[in-house]
């Protein structure tokens, strides 16, 4: 537990670089360690929620296999950022074309958030995996393995990661706090854990953000950060409209769209979901939902997002009057 | 023949009707004028024919000052400027007469070097005499500096009833007889432009065409005034004129659409509001279709929904009410947000690559990430100067917004 690198970002600084330093997932670690030691790993699928060590484990596998050459033999791609499977295929192709350095006969491609790929893209990925199976091993990560098509799952050894327990995250926090000379009490650690929702990266980020304000961490500070980081609620926009304050409502809407760069179609999705929670007559809800659908159609068709959403808000003003 | 609007131009403040606020402001400006003032010029702005120049003349008359009128070419003429500025000081001691400088119709002055706006700014800074400037549309971009250097006084359009009463008075003074219905027609068609009303009256009296029907007085075309167009659409009964209202305007329909969008809620509430936005959104649909199909005939529909469509949303309109229309600001806000978001995005990408997470997630958690990025990390991520500046502002703003500073020990 003494490994410390020079990074100033704690999620990196305290990212485990050896199998034995990973907290939780003991069963998985044991199996992956054995596979790695045999110097021949299969394609693998790491499934589980965010911030529990999937990327970390992939990096450690690469480090253990390739030692000093791990960076040359390891490619990390994020499926949710890559625009389309073509980008993924091209990068994989360029990377897999050359032989691996060192005495391991293959390279590793880590495809993060693979469940962000469409079914069609996954089919294409399957073929790519087959084409380069001689020179490359794939490690895929995803939140839900059910979103990965069967042909890929059947080609991989699937590992299901469990959510970290409170004591695991507590251990990590305490270690970092000690190392960084922070003052922290049990209650703050509990707040950090609750705020992290079991996501270790989030817990560490939250800890470092708190520490950037003050080296004495209080649960009040953590709670303030947690509530500030929450994205603005579309409900406020609708409430203003229902109460008849149209100008306030649209001002808030533009604010949400610009400050948090939310697109019109995302806004309309949240509005559609929110309608049934509103305190209005069910008949009005039906009317509003119909109108929302119409507006969504117009947005898809390519109209001015803001004008169309304003028209929708005007219908909410009407609904607020019971019409 | 002297035009009526010259012949009957008010000589005293008492004779000026319907501009009480502007009168009060101009009096106060003159009373408090001194060389050390920050704002040594008054900018009277408003539609044509509401009394901007008259106000300046009455001010001079009541205070026994001379008026020196400058136009664009005078402003560029250094010799002339000095002549006006200098001898007057001597003059002042000789005749004890003050001086007011009038820059009439500043709209015609262009923003380029040769136009005279920069000279006008210098003149305002140096002047020893009060300056009165008049303009129709003071919200043009080229006037941004001028707006800051002057005190803005808006003039409203003269209300229908005042126009009508003045017309009646003048008919009496001129010892003429004009049918009251006809006078009402002139007053309504003038749309608050007193000079236009007087011109119409004069033409009717002197052609002795007193039996013309009131519909034959042509609607005044007042180009370039979006405020008038909005007023017409929002406040008057929808008619065949409504669909033509934007034609006289020197403004693209897409821009007009932004003005309408901005101002609907200041006019309509509840059901009318919903109807008006429904029409506006239909105009927007056609706008989209024009762009996608390059089918320009759809402009007809965009124009229709934007004018008659919005206008017909309300049945009980009050042409005499006053609404302060606002300039659309959405496009500017979007532009500024995009500039900011570009920095945010590029920082998020650098962080995401370094920390093995997706761009999307980095953007989503940007709030926390921003706090984490300290001097060392910023160097490690190789942030550009622009990105550094953005981050600094962002952090400062969020600390204030969420009251984080009280935790700092």
Would you say residue A36 has pLDDT above 80?
yes
Model confidence at B175: pLDDT above 80:
yes
Q: How far apart are the first and last CA of chain B?
A: 82
Dist. CA A25–CA A160, nearest whole Å: 9
| Percent of chain A whose predicted confidence (pLDDT) is above 70 | 96
Q: Which residues of B touch A302 (CB under 8 A)?
A: 288, 291-292
d(CA B372, CA A209): 5
CATH number for A257: 1.20.272.10
3-state class of A112 per DSSP? strand
Answer yes or no: do A223 and A238 share one domain.
no
On the question of pLDDT at A76 being above 80, the answer is: yes
Q: What is the pLDDT of residue A3?
A: 42
Distance from CA of A257 to the nearest CA of B (A): 9
Q: Using an 8 Å Cβ cutoff, are A244 and A317 in contact?
A: yes
pLDDT in tens, B217-234: 554 444 447 888 898 899
Tokens of A292: 């929302």
Lowest-confidence segment of A184-188, B32-36, B231-235, B313-317 by average pLDDT? B32-36
Whether B94 shows a pLDDT value over 50: the answer reads: no
Output B94 or B261, whichever has higher pLDDT. Answer: B261
Contact B281 A261 (CB under 8 A): no
If asked whether residues A172 and A220 sit together in one domain, one would say: yes
pLDDT given at position A4: 46
* Among A81, A228, A258, beta carbon nearest to B367: A228
CA B139 to chain A, closest CA, distance in angstroms equals 22
**Number of C-alpha atoms within 13 angstroms, CB side, residue A238?**
21
pLDDT tens-place string over residues A237-292: 999 999 999 999 999 999 888 877 788 888 998 899 889 888 889 999 999 999 99
Q: Does any domain span residue A245?
A: yes
Read off the tokens for B187: 């007053």
Question: What CA–CA distance (Å, rounded) separates A138 from A108?
Answer: 6
Rounded-to-integer distance, Cα A102 and Cα A70, Å: 9
10 Å CB burial of residue B351 (0-12, 13-18, 19+) is buried
Structure token digits, residue A47: 């499934």
Burial code of A125-148, b = ≥16 C-beta within 10 A, e = fewer?
A: bbebbeebeeebbbbbbbbebeeb
Which residues in chain A have Cβ-Cβ distances shorter than 8 Å to B365? 202, 205, 229
CB < 8 Å to B257, chain A: 307
Q: Do A312 and A201 reside in the same domain of the chain? A: no
- Tokens 């749309």 found at: B191
Residues A132 and A210 in one domain: no
Given A9, A295, A317, which is nearest B273 (Cβ)? Answer: A317
CB B367 within 8 A of CB A228: yes
Q: B336 vs B153, which has greater pLDDT?
A: B153
Structure token digits, residue B292 = 């996608």
Listed by number, the residues of chain A in 200-219 with a beta carbon closer than 8 Å to a beta carbon of chain B are: 201-202, 205-206, 208-209, 212-216, 218
Mean pLDDT of A135-150: 91
Distance between CA atoms of residues A286 and B50, nearest Å: 51
State how far residue B359 is from chain A, nearest Cα, in angstroms. Answer: 6
Query: Could you give the residue ranges of the DSSP H alpha helices within B86-174?
Result: 87-95, 117-126, 144-149, 160-173
Give A137's DSSP letter. E
Is A266 found in the same domain as A208? no
Q: Please check the confidence at residue A295 and state whether its pLDDT lies above 50.
A: yes
Give the span between the Cα atoms of A223 and B403, in whole angstroms: 12
3-state secondary structure of A15: coil
Query: In degrees, to the nearest 5, what angle opens at C-alpha A100 toward C-alphas A12 and A76?
Result: 35
Decide the pairing of beta strands A216-217 and A183-184.
parallel
- Region of poorest pLDDT, from A129-143, A275-289, B110-124, B259-273: B110-124
Tokens standing for residue A213: 């304000």
- How many Å apart are CA A264 and CA B391, to the nearest integer? 26
Give the whole-angstrom CA distance, residue A296 versus residue A292: 6
**What's residue A166's pLDDT?**
92
- Which residue bears the tokens 């400050």? A259
| Residues of A in Cβ contact (< 8 Å) with B363 | 261
Chain centroid to CA B56: 20
A128 & A34 share domain: yes
Handedness of CA B355, B357, B360, B362 (dihedral sign): negative
In a domain, A18, yes or no: no
Tell me which of A204, A229, A254 is where a domain ends: A229
The token duo for B401 is 């917004």
Count the neighbouring beta carbons within 10 Å of the beta carbon of residue A279: 6
Considering the domain architecture, whether residues A186 and A104 belong to the same structural domain is answered as no
For chain B, give the mean pLDDT.
83
CATH of the domain at A118: 3.40.50.300
Say if B292 is an interface residue toward chain A (CB within 8 Å).
yes
The CA distance from B242 to the nearest CA of chain A, in Å, is 22
What percentage of chain B's residues is helix, strand, coil (to nearest 5)? 60, 5, 35
Q: Is residue A202 part of a domain?
A: yes
Contact predicate A293/A315, CB 8 Å:
no
Q: Indicate yes or no: CB of A12 within 8 angstroms of CB of B354.
A: yes
Counting DSSP H helices and E strands in chain B, the numbers are 21, 5
Using the Cβ of B287 and the Cβ atoms of chain A, whether some distance falls under 8 Å is answered with yes
A269 and A154 in one domain?
A: no
Secondary structure of residue B310 in the 3-state scheme: helix
B109-119 tens-digit pLDDT: 665 555 678 78
What's the pLDDT score for residue A92? 83
How many separate domains does chain A show?
A: 3
DSSP secondary-structure letter at B154? E
pLDDT above 90 (res A204): yes
Mean pLDDT within B288-292: 89
Compute the CA torsion angle B9, B10, B11, B14 (nearest 10 deg): 180
Residue pair A254/A305 in contact (Cβ under 8 Å)? The answer is no
User: Which domain range does residue A251 map to?
Assistant: 234-320
What pLDDT, on the 0 to 100 scale, is given for residue A317? 94
| Best-predicted range by mean pLDDT (A83-97, B45-59, B60-74) | B45-59
Is B354's Cβ below 8 Å from some Cβ in A?
yes
Chosen from A52, A74, A212 to mutate, greatest number of chain B CBs within 10 A: A212
| Distance separating alpha carbons of residues A201 and B88, to the nearest angstrom | 77
Q: Check CB contact under 8 Å for B371 and A213.
A: yes
Q: What is the pLDDT of residue B112?
A: 55
Q: Give which of A258, A168, A310, A169 is closest to B260, Cα–Cα.
A: A310
pLDDT for position A296 = 94
| Helix pair angle (A264-275, A234-242), 10° resolution | 60
Sheet of strand A107-112: strand arrangement: A74-78, A107-112, A136-142, A44-47, A157-160
Of the two residues B197 and B78, the one the predictor is more confident about is: B197
What is the reported pLDDT for B86? 58
pLDDT at B91 over 80: no
Neighbours of A202 (CB within 10 A): 20
Residue A33 to residues A24, A60, A67, Cα–Cα distance (Å): 14, 10, 15
Cα Rg of chain A, angstroms: 24
Q: Model ipTM? A: 0.77
**Token pair 């370039």: residue:** B224
C-alpha span between B301 and B322 (Å, rounded): 29
Tell which of A208, A229, A250 closes a domain. Answer: A229
Q: Are residues A69 and A148 in the same domain?
A: yes
Name the pLDDT band for B363 (thresholds 50, 70, 90).
confident
Flag whether residue B273 sits within 8 Å of chain A, measured between CB atoms.
Answer: yes
CB atoms A310 and B288 under 8 Å? no
Shortest alpha-carbon distance between residue A241 and chain B (Å): 10
Banded pLDDT at A228 (limits 50, 70, 90): confident
In a domain, A199, yes or no: yes
Q: Give Dmax (Cα) for chain B.
A: 91
Does the residue A5 lie in any domain? no
Contact between A210 and B388 under an 8 Å Cβ cutoff? The reply is no
> Residue B380 and residue A247: Cβ atoms within 8 Å?
no
CB pairs under 8 A between A and B: 150
Q: Are B48 and B156 in contact (CB under 8 A)?
A: no
- Chain-wide mean pLDDT for chain A? 88
> From CA A276, how far away is CA A235, in angstroms rounded?
12
Q: What does chain B come to in residues?
A: 409
Residue B241's φ and ψ, nearest 5 degrees, are -70, -30
**Residues of chain B found within 8 Å of residue A7, distances taken between Cβ atoms:** 380
**Chain A neighbors of B330, CB-CB under 8 A:** 254, 306
What CATH code would you report for B19-154? Answer: 3.40.50.300
Tokens representing residue B42 in the block: 């008054």
Q: Which burial class, exposed, middle or buried, applies to B307 when counting CB atoms under 10 A from its CB (0-12, 13-18, 19+)?
A: buried
Give the pLDDT confidence score for residue A175 in this predicted structure. 94
Beta bridge partner(s), residue B365: none
Give Cα separations from A16 to A56, A143, A164, A172, B42 (angstroms): 7, 21, 15, 11, 70
B248, pLDDT greater than 90: no
- The strand pairing partners of B100, in sequence order, are B67
Phi-psi region of B192 (alpha: psi -120 to 50; beta: other; left: phi over 0): left
Is residue A12 domain-resident? no
Looking only at the bridges linking them, the beta strands covering B41-45 and A157-160 are unpaired
Mean pLDDT check: name the lowest of B56-70, B101-115, B388-402: B101-115
* Whether A141 and A34 share a structural domain: yes
Of A112-116, A226-230, B15-19, B47-51, which gets the smallest average pLDDT?
Answer: A226-230
Range of weakest confidence among A282-286, B44-48, B189-193, B285-289: B189-193
Chosen from B344, B358, B373 to mutate, greatest number of chain A CBs within 10 A: B358
Per-residue pLDDT band at B89 (split at 50, 70, 90): very low
Q: Does the distance separating the beta carbons of B280 and A216 come in below 8 Å?
A: no
Q: Looking at residue B111, what is its pLDDT?
A: 57
| Range in A42-56, A97-111, A241-255 the model is least confident about | A97-111
| Average pLDDT over every residue of B263-272 | 92
Q: What is the mean pLDDT of residues B53-66?
A: 89
A135 vs B223 pLDDT, higher one: A135
Last residue of a domain, one of A160, A187, A219: A160
- Both A190 and A296 in one domain: the answer is no
| Domain match, A215 and A243 both | no
A232 touches chain B (CB under 8 A): no
Q: Give the burial string for B251-287 (b: 16+ CB within 10 Å, else e).
A: bebeebbbbbbbbbbebbeeebbbbbbbbbbbbbbbb
Contact A214 B359 (CB under 8 A): no
**Domain spans, chain B:** 19-154, 160-216, 226-311, 330-407
A306 and chain B: CB distance < 8 Å anywhere? yes
Contact B357 A78 (CB under 8 A): yes
| CB nearest to A314's CB, from B273, B351, B407 | B273
pLDDT tens across B129-144, in order?
Answer: 889 999 888 888 888 8
């Amino acid at each position: 537990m003494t490994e410390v690198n020079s990074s100033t970002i704690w999620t990196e600084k305290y990212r485990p670089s050896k199998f034995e330093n990973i907290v939780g997932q003991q069963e998985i670690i044991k199996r992956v360690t054995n596979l790695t030691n045999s110097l021949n790993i299969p394609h693998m699928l790491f499934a589980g929620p965010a911030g529990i060590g999937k990327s970390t484990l992939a990096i450690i596998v690469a480090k253990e296999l390739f030692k000093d050459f791990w960076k040359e033999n390891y490619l990390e791609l994020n499926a949710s950022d890559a625009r389309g499977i073509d980008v993924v295929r091209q990068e994989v192709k360029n990377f897999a074309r050359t032989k691996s350095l060192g005495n391991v006969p293959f390279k590793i491609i880590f495809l993060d958030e693979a469940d962000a790929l469409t079914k069609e893209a996954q089919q294409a990925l399957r073929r790519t995996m087959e084409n380069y199976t001689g020179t490359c091993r794939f490690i895929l990560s995803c939140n839900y393995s059910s979103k990965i098509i069967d042909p890929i799952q059947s080609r991989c050894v699937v590992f299901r990661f469990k959510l970290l327990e409170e004591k695991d995250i507590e251990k990590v926090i305490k270690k970092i706090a000690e190392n960084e000379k922070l003052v922290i009490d049990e209650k703050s650690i509990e707040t950090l854990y609750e705020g992290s929702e079991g996501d270790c990266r989030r817990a560490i980020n939250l800890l470092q953000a708190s520490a950037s304000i003050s080296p004495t961490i209080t649960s009040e500070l953590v709670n303030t950060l947690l509530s500030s980081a929450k994205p603005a609620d579309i409900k406020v926009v609708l409430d203003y409209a229902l109460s008849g304050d149209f100008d306030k409502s649209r001002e808030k809407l533009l604010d949400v769209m610009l400050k948090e760069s939310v697109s019109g179609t995302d806004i309309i999705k949240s509005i559609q979901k929110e309608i049934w929670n509103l305190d209005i007559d069910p008949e009005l809800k039906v009317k509003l939902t119909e109108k929302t659908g119409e507006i969504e159609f117009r947005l898809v068709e390519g109209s001015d997002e803001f004008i169309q959403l304003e028209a929708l808000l005007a219908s909410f003003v009407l609904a607020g009057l019971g019409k | 023949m002297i035009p009526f609007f010259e012949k009957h131009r008010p000589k005293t403040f008492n004779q000026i009707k319907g501009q009480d606020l502007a009168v009060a402001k101009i009096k106060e400006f003159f009373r408090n004028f001194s060389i050390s003032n920050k704002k040594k010029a008054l900018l009277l702005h408003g539609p044509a024919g509401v009394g901007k120049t008259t106000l300046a003349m009455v001010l001079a008359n009541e205070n026994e000052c001379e008026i020196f009128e400058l136009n664009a070419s005078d402003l560029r003429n250094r010799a002339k400027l000095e002549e006006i500025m200098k001898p007057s000081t001597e003059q002042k001691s000789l005749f004890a007469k003050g001086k007011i400088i009038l820059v009439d119709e500043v709209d015609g002055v262009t923003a380029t070097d040769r136009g005279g706006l920069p000279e006008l700014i210098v003149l305002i800074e140096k002047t020893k005499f009060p300056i009165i400037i008049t303009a129709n549309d003071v919200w043009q971009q080229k006037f941004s500096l001028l707006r800051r250097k002057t005190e803005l006084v808006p003039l409203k359009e003269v209300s229908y009833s005042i126009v009508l009463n003045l017309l009646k008075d003048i008919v009496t003074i001129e010892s003429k007889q004009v049918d009251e219905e006809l006078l009402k027609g002139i007053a309504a068609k003038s749309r608050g432009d007193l000079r236009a009303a007087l011109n119409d009256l004069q033409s009717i009296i002197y052609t002795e065409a007193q039996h013309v029907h009131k519909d034959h007085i042509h609607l005044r075309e007042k180009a370039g005034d979006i405020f008038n167009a909005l007023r017409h659409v929002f406040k008057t009964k929808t008619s065949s004129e409504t669909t033509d209202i934007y034609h006289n305007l020197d403004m693209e329909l897409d821009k007009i659409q932004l003005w309408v969008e901005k101002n609907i809620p200041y006019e309509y509430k509840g059901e009318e509001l919903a109807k008006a936005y429904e029409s506006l959104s239909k105009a927007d649909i056609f706008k989209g279709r024009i762009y996608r199909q390059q089918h320009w005939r759809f402009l007809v529909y965009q124009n229709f929904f934007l004018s008659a469509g919005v206008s017909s949303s309300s049945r009980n309109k009050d042409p005499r009410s006053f609404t302060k229309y606002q300039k659309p600001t959405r496009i500017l806000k979007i532009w500024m947000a995009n500039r900011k978001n570009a920095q945010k995005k590029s920082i998020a990408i650098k962080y995401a690559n370094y920390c093995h997470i997706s761009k999307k997630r980095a953007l989503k958690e940007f709030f926390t990430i921003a706090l984490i990025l300290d001097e060392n990390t910023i160097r490690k991520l190789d942030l550009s100067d622009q990105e550094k500046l953005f981050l600094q502002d962002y952090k400062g703003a969020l600390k204030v917004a969420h009251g984080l500073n009280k935790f700092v020990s």
